[in-house]
Amino acid sequence: MSPVIEINNLTKDYGEGRGVFDLNLSIGKGEMVGFAGTNGSGKTTTIRHIMGFVQPTRGAAYVNGLEAWKHSSEYVRHIGYVPGEISFPDLATGTAFLKSQAGFLGLKDMSYADALIQRLQLDPRASLKRMSKGMKQKTAVVAALMADPDIIILDEPTTGLDPLMRDAFLEIIKEEHRKGKTIFMSSHMFEELEATCDRVALISGGRIEHIADMEDIRNPKVRDYKIEFVNARDYERFKTLGFEIVRDQPQYHQVTVALSGDRIGDLFQSLRGMDVHFISEIKYNLDRYFREKLGRSKEANTNVQ
């Protein structure tokens, strides 16, 4: 099956090291891909290429097999796009804006838009000028999703939303994902990508550093457990048992061990009779994952040099 969004050696050089360089990314149908990176790392530039707003220096972005710069107008109606910087046309109210967008899309049925408005608790009758950042964000989300597009591209969609609203929003996105929509979402917050995406690409300095499969992170083969012993004797004895100790904190009588799933029984076996203060699993998350990966690649780089 051909990918819905494909980015091939995409380069846009704005000079002085700004821009994106040799990006490669492929997003299949129904996939939800996150795009992580700090401010100015090139997330928005990449999205602009997919939308066909910018002409690449080299390489190209393709959507449904169509080259973005030349043919974006043929497919963008199937993309629900929430720009990073929300700014509406010069219209009076949110309702007027949504109606106008529906006019552009040739959309007659507003029931899905109304449902979205309900769920996001949005009052679209407010004046566009007087809307808070969160309200604007919600309005933009409704405008992007109301035509039920196959592809959804979101550029930092949760900025400005309070935690409750963010959850409601992510819930909507997940639902769209379950419906089989292809979703590409950028964010500088790992947690929300972690909670929703199938894969997450990390971009830094205009280059994709790594693409993480969330399956590996949610169900890692090796998990870390932190154990604190009540007394020093048990602590010393445990260290002799041959578990792989990744971290040792003698002042607290704490050890952190790395265990593959099938050896969890051995651990409990060994702990029998020892005075354990607590035992906890250290959650493996995206942040740590990228830290490890990048640390390793940086080490590799240093070694080469």
Partner 1 sequence: MFSKSLFRQSCKANGTMWIIITVAVCFMLSCVMLISGRGDISETKDAIQNTIIEGELTSALQEKALNYYEIGNGAMEHFDDMFLKEYQTAYVNALTGGMPEERAAGAASMAAYAAAATELQETYVPGLIRELGYEADSQEAKEVQGVVFYVLNPMQEDGSYMFDDFFIEHGETVTHYTDLLASINDSLHSEERQKYVMNACAPFMAGNMVAEENIQSILDTLSDYGVTRAQYEEFGFSEYRNVKDIAMAAIVDYRANLEYRLDHLKEGETVESVKQDLRKDVTGSLLSSLPEEVSAALDEVGQMDMYGILVGSIFFKMAGLLLPIIYMIMTSNALIAGQVDSGSMAYILSTSTKRRTVTFTQAAYLIGSLLVMFLCTAITSIVCLSIVDVETGLTWQKLLLLNLGAFLVMFAMSGICFLTSCWFDRSKHAMGLGGGLSMFFLVATMLGLFGSPILPSIIRMDALNYFNYVSIITLFDPISILDGTTAFIWKFCILAVIGMVCYVIGSIRFRRKDLPL
Q: Rule CB under 8 A: which residues touch partner 1?
A: 48, 51-55, 72-77, 79, 81, 83, 85-92, 96, 100-101, 103-105, 143
98-111 as b/e, with b when 16 or more CB fall inside 10 Å? beebbeeeebeeee
- 147 or 255: CB nearest partner 1: 147
Alpha carbon distance 277, 269 (integer Å): 16
The minimum distance between CB 208 and partner 1, in angstroms, equals: 21
The minimum distance between CB 45 and partner 1, in angstroms, equals: 9
Alpha carbon distance 200, 272 (integer Å): 40
Tokens of 15: 């000079």
* 180 close to 153: Cβ distance less than 8 angstroms: no
The minimum distance between CB 280 and partner 1, in angstroms, equals: 46
- 33 or 147: CB nearest partner 1: 147
The minimum distance between CB 87 and partner 1, in angstroms, equals: 4
- 34 or 52: CB nearest partner 1: 52
- 152 or 227: CB nearest partner 1: 152
The minimum distance between CB 36 and partner 1, in angstroms, equals: 22
**Tokens 């409750």 sit on residue:** 164
Helices (H), 197-231: 214-218
- What distances in angstroms separate CA 162 from CA 134, 140, 187, 257, 266, one per listed residue? 8, 16, 15, 37, 45
* 254 close to 270: Cβ distance less than 8 angstroms: no
The minimum distance between CB 62 and partner 1, in angstroms, equals: 17
- What distances in angstroms separate CA 30 from CA 4, 42, 150, 197, 300, one per listed residue? 9, 24, 9, 11, 35
- 71 or 226: CB nearest partner 1: 71
- 25 or 98: CB nearest partner 1: 98
